[in-house]
Amino acid sequence: MEPSILDIPPDFVQEEMKELIADLDINIPPKRLDRNLIIATWNIRAFGDLTREWHSSPTQSPRRDLASVLSIAEIISRFDVIAIQEVKSELRALRDTLKKLGHNWSMILTDVTQGAAGNGERMAFLFDTRRVKLSGLACELVVPSEWTTEIKEDALKTQFARTPYAVGFRSNDKTFVLVTLHILFGKNEKERLPELKAIAHWMADWARRMNDYEQNFIALGDFNIEERGDLLAQSFLSEGLYIPPDLEQVTRSIFDETKFYDHIAWFNGAKGIPELSMKFLQGGNYNFVETALKNKELTKSQLSWHLSDHYPLWAEFAINQ
């Protein structure tokens, strides 16, 4: 019988997990009942199938194994709600992650995006139901054809390659809508701009029409922005979305610390859009490279197929204001 994610792990895996847990305790703030909310985003590389062995061999495919999923689940458990990109059509690894997280966790996700540009991916949210509840809203973002003139020469001429996914949540007395996205990478930055501008324009328009009770809009995911600067300024920031200093310069990629693919952004009172009602406390990434799966002595490339080539990005908010 093949091993299960719910089995007691071998001793060498337990030793790996002790180091990871200790490091998470240091680097991720604790969950505090009725006081804080920790929202995260993580592009988990090709998050689909897995090999149901505790440590896969270099010749096995997929390389992701039970020890990998155990590490992924432990990292996710430190957040209240997390948007995950690159969830594939095969849900084996995701389902094992949810089993390990336990009965207090739930998920909501899209169907697979069809077409070559969609790369067979889904958008997903995992959330701790002790801390976060669904508010009832779930929708995919579709851009009205009339907007092609409003956003001028950089208008989105077709629908998104991977349709952004918006879900409403409630924590304590705070209601918030998370919009997760994975922007088309394309051949160059110019090909990314229409999707970036369209999603920012869509969120700003929606936020202006909402009343204050539902005004907490947060965009998070893989923006596929390689560098800070014009591309972000011309799209998200031009519509009034704000990225706090804590999250501006932290490393996103395990391979290149100069890349800024992933973001968490919200409205901060500019452009006539009311600011977020939740107080931002702090944010950062989680660097798992030095602590995860240490017994396997993996290269970064190998580690990226077990965990990811992206670090998770997180933001902590106060909810008792």
For the four alpha carbons of 83, 298, 248 and 77, in that order, the dihedral sign comes to: positive
Q: What is the pLDDT of residue 287?
A: 96
Q: What is the pLDDT of residue 160?
A: 57
The pTM assigned to this predicted structure is: 0.90
Higher pLDDT, 44 or 263: 44
Angle of CA points 307, 313, 317, to nearest 5°: 140
Average pLDDT over every residue of 67-71 = 98
pLDDT score of 100 more than 50: yes
- For 257, residues 6+ apart whose C-beta sits below 8 A from its C-beta are 251
Nearest to 249 by CA among 262, 268, 266, 230: 262
In CATH terms, 11-318 corresponds, of 3.30.70.250, 3.60.10.10, 3.40.50.720, 3.90.1150.200, to 3.60.10.10
Q: Rounded to whole angstroms, how far apart are CA atoms 69 and 65?
A: 6
pLDDT band at residue 226 under the 50/70/90 scheme: low
For the chain, give every domain's residue range. 11-318
Average pLDDT over every residue of 100-108 = 97
pLDDT tens, residue by residue, 231-287:
666 777 788 888 899 998 899 999 988 888 888 999 888 888 888 889 999 999 999
Q: Rounded to whole angstroms, how far apart are CA atoms 187 and 168?
A: 33
pLDDT score of 154 more than 50: no
Higher pLDDT, 143 or 71: 71
Q: Decide: helix, strand or coil at residue 181.
A: strand
